[in-house]
Structure 1
Amino acid sequence: MMDSKLYPMGPEERLGLDIKRAEQELMAAKHAAVKPTGLTVPQYAALFTLAGNSGISAAALARACLVTPQAMNVVLKNLQERGLVERTPHPWHGNVLETTLTEEGRAVLAAADARAVQIERAIADELTPDERDTLRALLERCIKAVRSAT
């Protein structure tokens, strides 16, 4: 038995491990799904985000993909070397590079997304629409709780 003075919360109250386990399962499944297309999950996330935000800066893309700007620069460098994205100077802000998908980038994204969407469908199919809404609301509450605790 745990010493309640040293460990004031019992295992049944600690939800962080459950959330982390779900996130790790999701990321492992997405990694396996996109690997045959030659992408990593961060590369897939960048291409997916770029598809709806053509011309976005690397800094904005990093924020959207929840990675550091330094990590995103590595992702973009690799994608550019493969010919999946193009980076060109912004017309008014010469020191800002706009990033866009190439035709090959769109094709690779389509192949990766066809595989990754199966995982998202499996999650969605496990829950009713009301349960999905409830899960999103509960996760949002968890995020707020974490932010307020730090």
Structure 2
Amino acid sequence: MMSMPASERLGSHLKGAEQALSATKTAVLKPAGLTIAQYSALLCLAGSPGISAAALARLCRVTPPTMNAVLKNLQDRALIARSPHEWHRNVLETRLTDEGRAVLADADARVVRTERALAAEFTEEERATLVTLLGRCVDVLELEKQHARP
């Protein structure tokens, strides 16, 4: 016997929405030749040129080894360039190349269409409420995670 019906489990609804968004983004990014992780890295790099791989991993919410693999693939495609930091030679700064900016522009236009279609399903007030409610979900889950640690 289940202690809580599946229909009442918010996690299932959140996961379903996340999976639908991920599947859609995967589909719309495919023609641009990017994965979601690569797109996210390029988008963050556009806003924070010169950022380190470790800081980029935190910003994109992935592990450093995952980000290193993403950056290697982007560098192999000449979408990013990495060079030693002026003062900290063991830190590599990462920047978009001209090709990277072009690929990002195409990919971002595709993702923005999806984001706009999603946003159009809600009134401005509903969108604001949804953002607030999702933020509260994150806050509560972060607290639960901290309490779960031995």
TM-score normalised by the chain length of structure 2: 0.93
Counterpart Cα distance in 2 of 1:30 and 1:64? 19
The offset of 1:11, in angstroms, is: 2.4
SS of residue in 1 equivalent to 2:88: coil
Number of residue equivalences:
145
Counterpart Cα distance in 2 of 1:44 and 1:27? 12
Residue 92 of structure 1 aligns with which residue?
A: 87
The offset of 1:10, in angstroms, is: 2.5
The offset of 1:8, in angstroms, is: 2.9
Q: Percent identity?
A: 59
SS of residue in 2 equivalent to 1:72: helix
Residue 102 of structure 1 aligns with which residue?
A: 97
The offset of 1:12, in angstroms, is: 3.2
The offset of 1:128, in angstroms, is: 1.0
SS of residue in 2 equivalent to 1:70: helix
Residue 148 of structure 2 aligns with which residue?
A: none
- After superposition, where does 1:107-146 map in structure 2 within 5 Å? 107-146=102-141
Counterpart Cα distance in 2 of 1:74 and 1:82? 13
SS of residue in 1 equivalent to 2:26: helix
Runs of 4+ in 1 over 3 A off after TM superposition: none
Counterpart Cα distance in 1 of 2:97 and 2:65? 22
**Aligned amino acid, residue 43 of structure 1:** Q
Query: Per-residue displacement from partner, 1:37-84 (whole Å, max 9, x unpaired)?
Result: 111110000001101100000011111111100000000000001000
Residue 79 of structure 1 aligns with which residue?
A: 74
The root-mean-square deviation of aligned C-alpha atoms, in Å, is: 0.9
The offset of 1:87, in angstroms, is: 0.3
Query: Per-residue displacement from partner, 1:9-49 (whole Å, max 9, x unpaired)?
Result: 23232110110010011011111111111111100000011
Show structure 2 runs of 5+ residues with no match: 146-150
Does structure 1 conserve the Cα–Cα contact (< 8 Å) formed by 2:6 and 2:12? no
**Aligned amino acid, residue 148 of structure 1:** L
Aligned residue among 4, 22, 25 for 1:30: 25
